[in-house]
A = this chain, B = another copy of it.
Amino acid sequence: MSSGDLSVRARAFSVSSLIGSTHHSDDESSRNTDATKLQSFAYCPPTNKTDGEPTSIQNAAADLLCRELWLEFHALGTEMIITKAGRRMFPSLKVRLSGLEDDVLYIVYVDMETVDDKRHRYIYQSSKWVPGGPGDVPHQERHFLHPDGPQLGKFWNKQSCVAFDKLKLTNSRKPSQRDQIPLHSMHRYQPTLYIQPIPNDCREALSNCSEWWKTFCWKSSSAASFTFPETQFITVTAYQNQQITRLKIASNPFAKGFRDSNREPR
């Protein structure tokens, strides 16, 4: 028990000394400063390509939440761990929806789209990622359906946060669980949000459903999609950039055990 405490403290100390002197300090309060510096570098407005014409989707909008945190990671080159059992993203995708029509049913989901068809390598000396060989063929299914959907537009509009925190990334070919998205390691991905109305010809068949039953999923061509470039990431099985490791530890509650503040209580 007490020996475990000591070893953790020793590890945390050695990590911070390995990283050496950077512009990051060890406490979380420094992160806002960094974010301010980086905002001009990485932000691009989300693209809204409404490729269908139904009126139920024209005014839809989505705002990325916790954008400052995403920008901090993006400036370093966001890495996401993938494991056989599936690993949550951190940060997780959280959005605020608006402009959906009150009485239309929608499903909301995320797709992980490939950015290029290349494998990537991390160069330790320059702290940079470089394209390597050709990429693996993308998996067929990389969707994660929001578990609350389908719901009426008024439901989605009034949610202050629509979170995809249960989503898991995996490197197993055929994920057994519904919450897992299969990806290739050392590849670059761009999460994309989809808001999709339920087609008219099936909505009437739902008319005798009670409120709790208004749940189904649909694949149609009329959907609004939103891309937030600052959420792009590279998949890894172990972190490459130690500054990424450091920022994850500083900001993910589940990694609190690895924070330096555990060494020095004040």
Binds B, one of A126-134, A204-212, A223-231: A204-212
Q: Are B212 and A143 in contact (CB under 8 A)?
A: yes
Q: Are B209 and A218 in contact (CB under 8 A)?
A: yes
With beta carbons under 8 angstroms apart, the residue of B199, B210, B216, B218 that contacts A141 is B210
With an 8 Å Cβ cutoff, the count of chain A residues facing the other chain is 25
* Set of chain B residues within 8 Å of A201, measured between Cβ atoms: 205
Q: Which residue of B lies closest to A201 (CB)?
A: B205
Q: Are B145 and A212 in contact (CB under 8 A)?
A: yes
Q: Is A247 an interface residue (CB 8 A)?
A: no
Residues in A10-30 with C-beta less than 8 Å from chain B = none
* Set of chain B residues within 8 Å of A140, measured between Cβ atoms: 210
- From known contacts A199-B205, A202-B202, A205-B199, infer whether A141 and B217 are also in contact, taking CB-CB under 8 Å: no
* Set of chain B residues within 8 Å of A266, measured between Cβ atoms: none
4 nearest A-B pairs in the assembled complex, by CB-CB distance: A216-B216, A215-B217, A213-B217, A209-B219
Which A residues lie at the B interface, using CB under 8 A?
140-141, 143, 145, 147-148, 150, 178, 199, 201-202, 205-206, 208-219
Q: 20 interchain pairs (CB within 8 A)?
A: A141-B211, A141-B212, A143-B212, A143-B213, A145-B212, A178-B212, A199-B205, A202-B202, A202-B205, A206-B218, A208-B219, A209-B217, A210-B219, A213-B218, A213-B219, A214-B217, A215-B215, A215-B217, A216-B216, A216-B217
